[in-house]
Structure 1
Amino acid sequence: MSSWLNKFGFGARTESSIDSSSSEILQGPDHDVPDPGQQFAQFGAGCFWGVELVYQRVAGVTKTEAGYSQGFVHNPRYEDVCSGTSNHSEVVRVQYDPNECSYESLLDVFWARHDPTTLNRQDIIQAKKIFTVVRGRCRHTFCSQLPGPIRGNDVGTQYRSGIYFYTPEQEKEALESQDRQQKILNRKIITEILPAKKFYRAEEDHQQYLAKGGRFGSKQSAGKGCNDPIRCYG
């Protein structure tokens, strides 16, 4: 309950756990290593609960983790990130099998999940109709877009839109993907595309939050290929 209250700015604050030391670690890359034959990708697209669930459903994705990155303090807590004082972004680190799922297809999911033209808030693209895209052996279902997003409740720098790349190849694909997306939008994309930095895994109660039922105990399917609407609640 406390994390839900803190998400909306309520509840008692305890002393901050922020440690501003270890700047070399903070500014360095994510040195964690994926499983053999796997690769990492990292995305910020609003509240990490819903972002994680959408990637859990992607065929070829073998692991997802909600966490914090791109900040300037060491070992942040959820409350620190929500306060806006740590400058972290809520992100999801995706581990995927490149033989089953391309990085380009993960970028498609990223753009379809949120409105990349809104600054520091979670707005969801409105759905007009469902369609399916097949890239190699990876099949994804998306919604076409109506003009204008649905305004989300989550506001703050931690909800900023971001693609955080691990390799020069990922950077190139991300920039090319952004260019393609900009051509079909009538508003300027503000997504940041930056190297992946130190990843701090979020507290356990945030991991697979919606798949486990969230605050109301209503589990949402993380099955591969599931097209059910994602309800992101506390």
Structure 2
Amino acid sequence: MRLLLFGMLFIASTACKPKTTSTVQENTASIQEKMEEKTPMSKQDLEGYETAYFASGCFWCVEAIYESVKGVKEVYSGYSGGPEENPTYEDVAYGRTGHAEAVEVYYDPNVISFTELVQVFFGSHDPTSLNRQGPDRGAQYRSIAFYKSDKEREIITKYMEALEASNVYGRPIVTQVVPFEKFYIAEAYHQDYERRNPNNSYIRNVSIPRLNRFKANFNTYLKDESH
């Protein structure tokens, strides 16, 4: 019984979700100083790069994974997949909207293709887990591959069919494949959250291990860390 209770408390303490409104405000204030050091990339900086959108659990984890991929210039954490305008982190995290935590990936198609980004997507989370990734539960953590064109939709669906035909996961894939409509960038303190908060319990126990598993399986897709 004690072991079960400890496990429940551990999961609760390492969830990608605010505990209370006051906690969110405190975290925002403490992290804001760090964010002042970061100069956001302008649209001019990102001209010439393509964009791709994915949702596969806590965006702190997903952002860090795509940031490690060669050819990726910038990644933003945010919200997508729902009808509500201007969603907030607290509303999304508590399942009060139809949005999922998602990422916006700016990439150089001459270095990394959309097909390879889709491979990264399916290879870095469990696409058979309905409305859940790790300790995070709820539709806001569902698996979604967004497409902006018929070509992208075809790439996603064909890759899913190949995974299913090979029975890679041993269970049916539940990833949603939906047209991209709008991406709402998350609050400033969420950007580069993993890199800026390495001692956070969720980052240590969930996010970093997930990133390391991805790196071990996709080492040829990684940026040269010496640069």
TM-score, normalising length from structure 1?
0.67
Partner in structure 2 of residue 161 of structure 1: 143
Counterpart selection for 1:101 from 112, 117, 140 = 112
Partner in structure 2 of residue 196 of structure 1: 180
Q: Which amino acid letter does the alignment assign opposite residue 182 of structure 2?
A: K
> Following the alignment from structure 2 to structure 1, what is the Cα–Cα distance between the partners of residues 17 and 108?
36
Counterpart selection for 2:159 from 164, 177, 190 = 177
- Once the two structures are superposed, residues 92-151 of structure 1 have per-residue CA deviations (whole angstroms, 9 ceiling, x without a partner) of 1101010010111111111111110110000xxxxxxxxxxxxxxxxxxxxxxxxxxxxx
CA shift in 2, pair 1:61/1:187, >3 Å: same
Q: What's the offset of the Cα at 1:180?
A: 1.1
Q: Is the 8 A contact 2:15 2:135 kept in 1?
A: no
- Residues 47-58 of structure 1: matches in 2 within 5 Å? 47-58=58-69
The share of aligned pairs that are identical, in percent, is: 36
Secondary structure of the 2:106 match is: strand
Gaps (5+ residues) in structure 2? Answer: 1-12, 23-42, 209-213, 218-227
Secondary structure of the 2:215 match is: coil
Q: What's the offset of the Cα at 1:35?
A: 3.3
Structure ranking higher in strand proportion? 1
Structure ranking higher in helix proportion? 2
- Residues 69-218 of structure 1: matches in 2 within 5 Å? 69-122=80-133, 152-183=134-165, 184=167, 185-214=169-198, 216=200
Secondary structure of the 1:211 match is: helix
Structural RMSD (CA): 2.8
Say how many residue pairs are matched. Answer: 175
Partner in structure 1 of residue 215 of structure 2: 227
Secondary structure of the 2:144 match is: strand
Stretches of 4+ aligned residues off by more than 2 angstroms: 4-10, 32-37, 213-220, 226-229
- Once the two structures are superposed, residues 147-196 of structure 1 have per-residue CA deviations (whole angstroms, 9 ceiling, x without a partner) of xxxxx110011100000011221111011111111123321100000111
TM-score, normalising length from structure 2?
0.69
> Following the alignment from structure 1 to structure 2, what is the Cα–Cα distance between the partners of residues 158 and 34?
30
